[in-house]
Structure 1
């Protein structure tokens, strides 16, 4: 099955970096970026609307509401590896469009069912679970497509801009969702969620593509491999790359402890610090601003510090600021938590942009989908385990002590990349 790729930008002499084309002139990238931004806002709308619909309209119990979070993350454990194989064998742009349209239908079906019939909790479970599967497919496909869309020197900038979309959505999405829910109710809010996915699909449809040359011999050899071997080729490639193994270990460890902290942070602010709901919201807004600010200058920082060096620097340097989170105090001292969270948000943007760019740079094109999927399978597989650990630590040791362990664990993840060959590198391969 032949794939297609996005039309490349005009080539410019590599000898003069100042004359390299920028992403601001890339029609294809700007379409992807704008669609992703709207899609991320839509995802944030559902993050607030789903539990409120379950708790309010459907009168769900606390356990029933927690199952929604479980169903949203479960597809990463079950479907990441096959999603990688699919993304490597089909037209990735068409796959992303299909995922967007599928999520639009699933989310849009909820207010329709409520209008014509009796909306049940199992309808919400079904929509969240199937939407989660499509989200896995979409994320694997778009991470594999980006290196085909931009030139090698533009990867860091492209990943930074896409990361900014997520932080921007986290900044305004929950507030926008809350306003919509207040105006039209939780059920009708999903119409806006569906509209966001439709806009994302339209922007992808407008992207221009040209046929991509394909090595038939390699494709034929792959098709003769057993299905299990094809799905695990991404894992095999990661095992063969010492730096990728360190990055994977760092990301997984960080995700584990970040989710452990995230599972108790609202409880800590409300019960230990007696923070009102508006102040809790302000804390998370401060965090999102930190990510946005660093995302805007990520490319320039990467060039100054070094596109490889920034991977371990971004993990190690902000660590002491994480300690402000368990040291936060009642009153305005709650904002110390926001400062610590902003430091992590900034670190996450710089690290994820640089680490993803390294992964995309060294991975063969025909394996991009499977390598991305393998990362998601392991890194996101740690998330539910981290959430359980955070709750267990808080129940046993208390909220503040548990939070201190979590932030120290998050900082310790830096050791994997500090004690790796990255420490002796300045730039990504072929970046000089």
Structure 2
């Protein structure tokens, strides 16, 4: 059986070349970046299908967004425990292929007039489920692929592109629908997943994974270990709570926002896409700041201030009135500040989370935090539809945006706010059976 590398570091990992000269890292980064862009573009393409093609109302749009987000609470914990026992490329490649085929099927059904809301709900759930597999796997993949001294820079690169896609992907989706039509936009989204597949499948590194025992620990036990580790660590516990508050409110905001821009501000599809796209340059600025500010001012201070500034920028949106000449520049400014703050928070939180998490627990901790943070998104989407129907778009949007500001408040009142310039050391791994020996999987185990 071939070895991982002819030379290894003291930790047992292969010695890797400098980060951007490492072909495997570049393939992972390209694949992850375009996959995340496709994923978050699809989050807007499918709802706009419902609004523009099927004439969906408040409640139907909320249900569609909730169904697309439902796999996060339903699957995250199981996927995290499962990924810790598999080669991550084996998970990511099929996830890309599946999502690409689903979007092509949606576009084809729309073009022949056979796309209904029920089919769109099934597609949204399937894309969401495969995205859970991909997102948990790529986070574990980085830790297995890179040496410890490269991990911080590698995390910053991957999480920077992920955050940019999370913020800029919906803007791209809106622009594609506006400029090309919803079916063509769906095919464009499928191309992103195809490009990710082509890049990730070319990774040559045969990563070590835990050997599968004949009688492995029950999956509930492995999930419990991850949950206990996160709950027992004050830093990770705060990340969960702040993320849950933000994601619930943000899901409500996006449901209302997609209705507010065309129906209250009377913006065209092009203007909506432009307004959403402003978060992209902001995210780029946030990525640059994330590489400098935490080491200068402290991770805690940067987290609290960036979250407060980014979330607070949207408080002006419900008050906007008038012609697009007035409202669009204001939306661009709010989106830019929100993108910069959100990117800075996401990259910094990810660096802190991975720094305090032992290597063998990365998948379960990532899944636990995803479950706690994103698990409330389906309820937030439904709540956004409820606010629109009961309070109206303006009042409902104001309430949802105000809810986002709870996240920096929770961080400010916690030990997370006191983190200094240096990242914390890894905590002790969760209690459990002795660690397995590592092996390089053969083709059958892939």
Q: TM-score range by the shorter chain?
A: 0.7 to 0.9
Q: Is the 8 A contact 1:73 1:132 kept in 2?
A: yes
* SS at 1:429 equivalent: coil
* SS at 1:206 equivalent: coil
**CA–CA distance in structure 1, aligned partners of residues 3 and 103 of structure 2:** 30
- Residues 45-64 of structure 1 show CA distances to partners (whole Å, capped at 9, x for unaligned) of 5445434555676x575465
Q: Is the 8 A contact 1:87 1:369 kept in 2?
A: yes
Number of the residue aligned with 2:239: 247
Q: 2:190 aligns with which of 191, 194, 212?
A: 194
**CA–CA distance in structure 1, aligned partners of residues 408 and 165 of structure 2:** 25
Q: 2:401 aligns with which of 402, 407, 416?
A: 407
**CA–CA distance in structure 1, aligned partners of residues 89 and 216 of structure 2:** 25
**CA–CA distance in structure 1, aligned partners of residues 344 and 331 of structure 2:** 20
**CA–CA distance in structure 1, aligned partners of residues 335 and 6 of structure 2:** 38
In the TM superposition, residue 381 of structure 1 has moved relative to its aligned partner by 1.9
Number of the residue aligned with 2:442: none
**CA–CA distance in structure 1, aligned partners of residues 113 and 193 of structure 2:** 24
In the TM superposition, residue 177 of structure 1 has moved relative to its aligned partner by 4.2
Q: Is the 8 A contact 1:259 1:383 kept in 2?
A: yes
Q: 2:81 aligns with which of 82, 85, 91?
A: 85
Mapped pair 1:153 → 2:148: no
**CA–CA distance in structure 1, aligned partners of residues 395 and 125 of structure 2:** 34
Moved more, 269-278 or 239-248: 269-278
Number of the residue aligned with 2:358: 364
**TM alignment of 1:152-191, pairs within 5 A:** 152-158=151-157, 159-181=159-181, 186-187=182-183, 189-191=185-187
Query: Counting helix residues as a fraction of each chain, which structure ranks higher?
Result: 1
**TM alignment of 1:269-284, pairs within 5 A:** 269-284=261-276
Mapped pair 1:230 → 2:222: yes
Q: 1:102 aligns with which of 98, 103, 111?
A: 98
Moved more, 390-399 or 77-86: 390-399
Q: Is the 8 A contact 1:108 1:191 kept in 2?
A: yes
Q: 1:302 aligns with which of 291, 294, 299?
A: 294
How many residues are matched?
A: 413
- Residues 346-398 of structure 1 show CA distances to partners (whole Å, capped at 9, x for unaligned) of 22111111111211121122221111111122211211222333344444444
Moved more, 45-54 or 376-385: 45-54
**CA–CA distance in structure 1, aligned partners of residues 73 and 132 of structure 2:** 10
Q: Where does the alignment leave 5 or more consecutive residues of structure 2 unmatched?
A: 10-15, 427-446
**CA–CA distance in structure 1, aligned partners of residues 203 and 313 of structure 2:** 42
Coordinate RMSD, CA, aligned? 3.6
**CA–CA distance in structure 1, aligned partners of residues 288 and 177 of structure 2:** 25
**CA–CA distance in structure 2, aligned partners of residues 241 and 117 of structure 1:** 52
Number of the residue aligned with 1:28: 24
Quickly say closer, same or farther: Cα 1:161–1:132, change in 2 above 3 A: closer
Mapped pair 1:206 → 2:202: yes
Number of the residue aligned with 1:15: none
Q: Is the 8 A contact 1:33 1:162 kept in 2?
A: no
Mapped pair 1:69 → 2:65: yes
Q: Is the 8 A contact 2:306 2:345 kept in 1?
A: yes
Quickly say closer, same or farther: Cα 1:71–1:257, change in 2 above 3 A: closer
Number of the residue aligned with 2:128: 132
Q: 2:375 aligns with which of 370, 381, 388?
A: 381
In the TM superposition, residue 321 of structure 1 has moved relative to its aligned partner by 3.2
Quickly say closer, same or farther: Cα 1:394–1:284, change in 2 above 3 A: same
In the TM superposition, residue 230 of structure 1 has moved relative to its aligned partner by 1.8
Q: 1:314 aligns with which of 306, 313, 319?
A: 306
TM-score, length-normalised on structure 1?
Answer: 0.82
TM-score, length-normalised on structure 2?
Answer: 0.80
Q: Is the 8 A contact 1:22 1:154 kept in 2?
A: no
- Residues 121-165 of structure 1 show CA distances to partners (whole Å, capped at 9, x for unaligned) of 554443332222111111111112222333233255222233234
Q: Is the 8 A contact 1:252 1:379 kept in 2?
A: yes
**CA–CA distance in structure 2, aligned partners of residues 149 and 211 of structure 1:** 7
**CA–CA distance in structure 2, aligned partners of residues 6 and 65 of structure 1:** 49
Number of the residue aligned with 1:50: 46
**CA–CA distance in structure 1, aligned partners of residues 356 and 27 of structure 2:** 26
